[in-house]
Amino acid sequence: TPARCRMRPLAWVGIASLCLGAAWAVPAKERRKAEKAKADLALYENLDLDNYDLTLENYGEILDLSNYEELYDYGDLVPKIEVGTLAPRPKDPVALPDQGTTAEIPKLQLLTAASPVHPAPSPAQALPSCLRCLCIGTSVYCDDADLEHIPPLPPETTYLYARFNRIGTIRASDFTGLKKLKRIDLSSNFISWADADAFRLLPSLQELILPENRLTALPELPRTIVRLDARLNRIPSTGLRPEAFRDLKQLQFLHLSDNQLDYIPAPLPESLRSLHLQNNNIQTMHEDTFCDSQDHSQIRRALEDIRLDGNPINLSLFPNAYFCLPRLPTGHFF
């Protein structure tokens, strides 16, 4: 029919358009391959294979390499090279000394009778305490240091701990000039003697700790003393000065247990809070040992801790001796 005849040319035009679009849609890489094949064919057609003689003179005439890089694309074939850090070159070896040469040997000087001889220093010869002990601030720690004497102390020393040593005596010069010394702890030594003025001239001394030694007498104490601990020694009553504690107005703790005392060391200062005399040989006491028998209004509120246990004394024999105390002493009432 006439309508069909008119549609046929239009169909052919559409088909031609599709073909042209497909041709243009060929990837660029395929076109380059096609061009490469044509170039190779043209190259081989131009070669005169009958008279082919490749020499250095006709190398450029026979093979045209001007478009070599254009024909072949090696972009996808070039391997990736990673650049690493090369190891540093080894240092030049240190030149060894010549084995043929020897160092000069110093000459020994022989000792003669005229040569001065210097004695070797003694280990304990005036070493400062901070070299033999441990100094922290104004505290000096000399515990378990195998000491036989009190070492020289810094003038600012406030607390001294020299426990578990072999100290046998305390000299008056051991603490000279130590005006700030507040506490001395010499527990567990071999102390059997202390000079009479070993502690008396210390203006700031508050605590004197001397348990587990071999003392048979107590030296005079400064009036600033607050605590005296001389347990586990060998002190008899004759080893105490008469009225040794009466003028110690700041004394609060007096611990003399496990000694050889025969009586309670009265008079005791009003400041006293704790009196430990257990495990001695105390057999009797006076009615005014703790209280003033003439003043029945007296009350010693501070003295709350009195221990007399371990002594052969019958506390019930002295009923008027405790009226001023806030509580009865610890001991035997039989």
The DSSP secondary structure of 57-110, one letter per residue, reads TTHHHH---TTHHHH---TTTSPP----PPPPPPPPPPPPPPTT--PPPPPPPP
Average pLDDT of the residues of the chain: 78
In a domain, 172, yes or no: no
Q: Is residue 12 part of a domain?
A: yes
81 has pLDDT over 60: no
Secondary structure class of 2 (helix, strand, coil): helix
Asked whether residue 310 is domain-assigned, the answer is no
pLDDT of residue 169: 97
Contacts of 74 (CB under 8 A, 6+ apart): none
If one compares 176 and 18, the residue with the highest pLDDT of the two is: 176
Q: Please name the helix (run of DSSP H) or strand (run of DSSP E) that holds residue 135, with its range, or none.
A: strand 134-136
Indicate if the pLDDT at residue 25 is higher than 60.
Answer: no
Q: Residues 176, 182, 188, 192: is their CA dihedral positive or negative?
A: positive
Supply φ then ψ for residue 69, to 5 degrees. -70, -30
Q: Look up residue 277 and give its two tokens.
A: 């005399």
154-198 confidence digits (pLDDT tens): 999 999 999 999 999 999 999 999 999 999 999 999 999 999 999
User: Domain limits at 41?
Assistant: 8-71
Q: Is residue 273 a part of any domain in this protein?
A: no
| Alpha carbon 159 to its chain's center | 22
In a domain, 17, yes or no: yes
Q: What SS3 class is residue 161?
A: strand
Task: Report the distance separating Cα 102 and Cα 8, nearest Å.
Answer: 115
Residue type, 42: A
Does residue 39 belong to any structural domain of this protein? yes
- Number of structural domains, the chain? 1
Least confidently predicted of 45-59, 100-114, 259-273, 301-315: 100-114
Query: What is the Cα Rg of the chain in Å?
Result: 56
Check residue 129 and give its pLDDT. Answer: 76
Contacts of 269 (CB under 8 A, 6+ apart): 245, 246, 247, 248, 249, 251
Run of H or E including 139: strand 139-141
108-115: which pairs have CB atoms within 8 A and are 24 or more residues apart?
A: none
CB 212 within 8 A of CB 185: no
List the one residue out of 207, 252, 212 whose CA is nearest residue 235: 212
User: What average pLDDT score do residues 281-296 get?
Assistant: 94
- At 209, the amino acid letter reads I
At 98, the amino acid letter reads: D
With contact defined as beta carbons under 8 Å apart, do 270 and 290 qualify? no
**Is 57 a member of any domain?**
yes
φ/ψ region of 210 (left if φ > 0, alpha if ψ in -120 to 50, else beta) reads alpha
Q: What is the DSSP letter of 48?
A: -
Domain annotation covers residue 304: no
pLDDT at 52: 45
pTM for the predicted model, two decimal places: 0.63
